Each structure stands twice: as structure tokens, then as C-alpha cells.
Amino acid sequence: MATKDKIMDALIQLVTEKGYRGATTRAIAERANVNEITLFRHFGSKDGIMEAAINKYSFVGELIGIVKENFVWDLEKDLKFIAKTYQEQLNEHKDILLISYKEAGTFPEIDEMISRHLYKVKETLMDYFKEMISLGKLYNQDVEAVVTHFLLINAGFFLLNLRLNDDSQMLLDDFLNQQVTLLINSIKTNH
């Protein structure tokens, strides 16, 4: 593993365990098995490591690419695919996401970076719904409200499953079917 990756992984592990303030540069260097000077040479500061980790582990570009490549312009199929892909990406990158929730408000520059990433997802979905309206597959409506609802329901499902940690978790496929059916029934053209 490359030195930069070791340092970013060490930061993520320590922030998850101790919070951002508790993850000192000395502890990060020790966990990464590098000299503290090496850490500063590569990143300049602990904030620099965090910014690099967020950029490295951000799934937004990948998510947007996957989703756009697989649009079939069928509302049910597309929404199920988007939601499933979104859930998979959230789970794959849950450590960095949990850090962003845990440390929200502590570092405005990190909050702003995460907000920019999330806005890109929202923008892509809004473009999708606008196109569905122009194709006559949806009636003209408040696209931002629909997308916000869709994202909040998915984020809520992700967070709920993280907290439950037991066998009572709703299966992803059941959630997708119910969530997408409810949303489609509220926004389809023959409403």
C-alpha cells in the first residue's frame, strides 16, 4: 500500500475511534507506520489528510457515471437502479460518511466539500426527472422536492440499518420495491 494511502486509512480509523480532535498527527503517523514528518511532507496538515481522504473516497463521480450510463428512461427500473447503486455506494464508503456526520460543523471546509459532492448527486437526479417530464413520462412538478424526498428516504434507510445492526433490518430489495412504488405512485403522469 502506498504511503499516502496508509496515512489516509490511519486517519479514517483513528477519527472513527476517537473523533477528529483525538486523532493527532503523531497517532496517525504511528498507526500508518510512518514518521510524522512524512505525514506533513505528503499532506501539510491533518486537515490536508482529511481533504485528501474525502476526495479519494468520494463516490459521487463514480455514482453519477454508473447511473447516467445505465438510464433506460423507464421510471421504475431507473429509480430502483439508482437507489440500489446509491445504497451500495453508501455502504462501501460508510467510514468516511460516518466521520462527516460525527464531525459535522466542526470543520466548515470539510462540510462545504461534502455538500458540493452531494449537490452533484442532487443535480444529476434533478436533470433526470426534468428529462422524464420533457419525455411526457411524468407530469410537470417540483423536481427538487421529488429528488430531495428520494435522497432523504435513501439516506434514512442507510442510517437506520447502521443503527439497527441486527436481523430485523429490512432487506434492501424489499426497501427498494416499496420505496420506488410509493414514489412512482405519487409522481407518475396518470396521477
Residues 29, 95, single domain; the answer is no
Neighbouring C-beta atoms of residue 179, cutoff 10 Å: 20
Q: How confident is the model at residue 189, as a pLDDT? A: 60
Task: Kindly report the average pLDDT of the chain as a whole number.
Answer: 85
Whether 171 shows a pLDDT value over 90: the answer reads: no
Whether 168 shows a pLDDT value over 50: the answer reads: no
CATH code, 177? 1.10.357
Residues 21, 62, single domain; the answer is no
Residues 18, 70, single domain; the answer is no
Residues in Cβ contact with 130 at an 8 Å cutoff, skipping those fewer than 6 apart: 143
The predicted model gives 122-131 an average pLDDT of 94
Residues 43, 116, single domain; the answer is no
DSSP string covering 32-64, please? HTS-HHHHHHHHSSHHHHHHHHHHHH--HHHHH
Residues 160, 118, single domain; the answer is yes
Whether 166 shows a pLDDT value over 60: the answer reads: no
Residues 20, 82, single domain; the answer is no
pTM of the shown model: 0.75
DSSP state of 71: -
The predicted model gives 45-57 an average pLDDT of 85
Residues 123, 93, single domain; the answer is yes
Residues 103, 40, single domain; the answer is no
Range of the domain at 90: 58-187
CA distances from 156 to 31, 48, 161, 163, 164 (A): 33, 30, 9, 11, 12
Q: How many domains does the chain fold into?
A: 2
Neighbouring C-beta atoms of residue 116, cutoff 10 Å: 11
Residues 19, 103, single domain; the answer is no
Residues 83, 155, single domain; the answer is yes
Residues 82, 162, single domain; the answer is yes
Residues 48, 130, single domain; the answer is no
